Amino acid sequence: MSKKQKLELTWIGKDEQAVLEPRILIEDPEKSYGDPHSENMLIHGDNLLALKALEQKFAGKVKCIYIDPPYNTGSAFEHYEDGIEHSLWLTLLRDRLVILKHLLRDDGVIFCQIDDNEYAYLKVLADEIFGRKNFISSIAWQKKYAVKSDSQFLSESHEYILVYAKNIGLAKLNRLPRTAEQDARYKNPDNDPRGIWTSGPLQRNEARDYAIYPIISPLTKKSHLPPKGTSWRFNKDKLESLIADDRIWFGANGENVPRLKRFLSDVASDVPATTWWDYKTAGHNDEGKREIKKLFPNAEHVFATPKPERLIGKLLHLGSKPGDLVLDSFLGSGTTAAVAHKMGRKWIGIELGDHCDTHCVPRLQKVCDGSDQGGISKAVEWKGGGGFKYYDLAPSLLKQDKHGNFVISEEYNADMLAAAMAKQQGFVFCPDQELYWKQGYSTEQDFIFTTTGHLTVAMLDTISEEMAEGEHLLICCKKYSAACEKRYPNIQVKKIPKMLMGRCEFGQEDYSLNIVNLTDEENAPEFVPEGPGDESQKSKVKGRKVGNKNPNQAELF
């Protein structure tokens, strides 16, 4: 029997998918800013590894995602090398989109910005990942307001934003408030006490016998029939009641073709967004550049294509509400985080380049201070407040020694190792205040303990005596006495790093889309903190006290 075929996009290397190392994250208190209890996260590091680091804690929790990845145009940018070979570009985008989908809430949406070069391929790729049925629409955004006269063929004036739901049956896009321009069409030429109104056609574009009849103007007695091939929208009785209620307009002199009056008071105060966003309502590239230049007047280089805050604000309005979690894994100059902050959303931003420090940090500090009054600030009446925590990715847990053998990196202290092993094994790192060996949990009765010391039979006996009935423990250690291995049926002992071999790619630091300026992590502080609280996990473990940590080390995540 032949192999079942399916419709799919194929490319060189599609089947070669990286097995990512789930890293821990390290907070840098010197770069964190504002409210110390803030749940906002600015992450510096490779965005694929960062997404993997977030996956355990944030799967199913992100309401809205916006990404603006390098477009694979071959153009030379100061901050991005954007000329990635086509197949490699597809592979790298695929790997990120798979995790992004996992991070989305069931009612979440993702906005993917792209230009003509990869639009068609990204659409098919996203169909494959999110499901074609979950495609909502494509938005065309007018990025330029003037013609580029030196264009070889056509002057490109727009980009696309692909919109997908994780589950189309649960997703809902918010509507936009009516604009003054939309309301300007409403007038009141007859001084109707019900207020301003506009008029619309009274006929439908099909002929129905019951709706073909003459309409007589009350003022002039002029008779009107629907044009050939059409009919009135209402039957005769309904039409006569509309005339009696002064809802049919025959013109100021009573001679015009009848039209239906629609009062502004009868229409919704908001409207659905359209798929065409012109620069007047959503900004343009030059506007984005001016916003960056205003924030950094002395900067030698400005991003070539920063997105205006109005564009991001409109997207976040559609896809989220205040208090929702927003994520951008290609943060660039920090626009998405800045806009989300001003709009009262929680946010996670990931950026690899040095501009995470040179652009994102100072920009977001200004947002928190309220000194950033550009972009959407005045429209949302932003005055400042809040804060964010700054994180680096921890180095790889294992590295090769001079003989080519994998060993635990010397950059890991005991607390970092415990946090990393908990994440590797699928446990929530949460050291107990009273029992040192309860460093993390996966259920109410399943725990993990990691030690850098030699596990002896005496230590194991003491731990067993402290364990309650029905509890299970995984012990990860560098060395242990042979008699420990199967001494207790509810205690499993494994050796590091042997237990990790073959599970993922260790030592790989860069899965980037040719993003330049990877920072040196040699001087990274020893730390790793916790993100937004996981209430569902907390509720599973009742009465557990958190503590027994090194007071000089930040929270481990």
The superfamily CATH assigns to domain 27-146+159-174+299-393 is: Vaccinia Virus protein VP39 (3.40.50.150)
Q: What does the longest C-alpha to C-alpha distance in the chain come to?
A: 108
**pLDDT at res. 298:** 82
Handedness of CA 231, 236, 242, 248 (dihedral sign): positive
DSSP-assigned letter for residue 286? H
Domain borders along the chain are: 27-146+159-174+299-393, 180-266, 398-508+530-540
- Provide the β-strand partners of residue 455: 480
**pLDDT at res. 79:** 53
Number of other residues whose CB lies within 10 A of the CB of residue 416: 22
**pLDDT at res. 280:** 93
**pLDDT at res. 33:** 97
Run of H or E including 49: helix 47-58
Q: Which long-range contacts (CB under 8 A, 24 or more apart) does 356-361 make?
A: 356/42, 356/44, 356/331, 356/519, 357/31, 357/44, 357/519, 358/299, 359/292, 359/296, 359/303, 359/332, 359/333, 359/334, 360/42, 360/331, 360/333, 360/334, 361/31, 361/33, 361/42, 361/390
Residues 281/314, Cβ–Cβ less than 8 Å: yes
361 exposure class (CB count in 10 Å sphere: 0-12, 13-18, 19+): buried
DSSP-assigned letter for residue 153? S
Query: What dihedral angle (degrees, nearest 10) is formed by the CA atoms of 316, 320, 321, 322?
Result: -60
Number of other residues whose CB lies within 10 A of the CB of residue 421: 28
Closest Cα partner for 432 from 514, 512, 337, 547? 547
Which DSSP string corresponds to 327-361?
A: EESS-TTTHHHHHHHHTT-EEEEEE-STHIIIIIH
Topology match between the domains 27-146+159-174+299-393 and 398-508+530-540:
no
List the structure tokens of 130. 């999110």
Provide the b/e sequence for 188-220 (b: ≥16 CB within 10 Å). eeeeeeeeebbbeebbeeeeeeebebebebeee
96: Cα separation from own chain's centroid: 12
Give the phi and the psi of residue 462 in degrees, each rounded to 5: -65, -45
Residues 469/477, Cβ–Cβ less than 8 Å: no
List the structure tokens of 457. 């039979």
Lookup result for tokens 């506007």: 287
**pLDDT at res. 556:** 57
420 exposure class (CB count in 10 Å sphere: 0-12, 13-18, 19+): buried
Task: Give this prediction's pTM.
Answer: 0.84
CATH of the domain spanning 398-508+530-540: 3.40.1350
List the structure tokens of 364. 């977001």
**pLDDT at res. 369:** 96
State the Cα–Cα distance between residues 313 and 507, nearest whole angstrom.
Answer: 38
Per-residue model confidence as pLDDT tens for the chain (557 residues):
456 777 888 888 888 888 999 999 999 999 999 999 999 999 999 999 999 999 999 999 999 999 999 876 655 344 545 555 778 888 889 999 999 999 999 999 999 999 998 899 999 999 999 999 999 999 999 999 999 888 889 989 999 999 999 999 999 999 998 888 888 899 999 999 999 999 999 999 999 999 999 999 999 999 999 999 999 999 999 999 999 999 999 999 999 999 999 999 888 888 999 999 999 999 999 999 999 999 988 877 767 788 999 999 999 999 999 999 999 999 999 999 999 999 999 999 999 888 899 999 999 999 999 999 999 999 999 999 999 999 999 999 999 999 989 999 999 999 999 999 999 999 999 999 999 999 999 999 999 999 999 999 999 999 999 999 999 999 999 999 999 999 999 999 999 999 999 889 998 888 875 433 333 333 333 333 333 334 444 333 333 444 444 545 555 56
**pLDDT at res. 512:** 73
- How many C-alpha atoms does 153 have within 13 Å on its Cβ side? 1
- Angular region, 475: left φ>0, alpha ψ -120 to 50, beta rest: beta
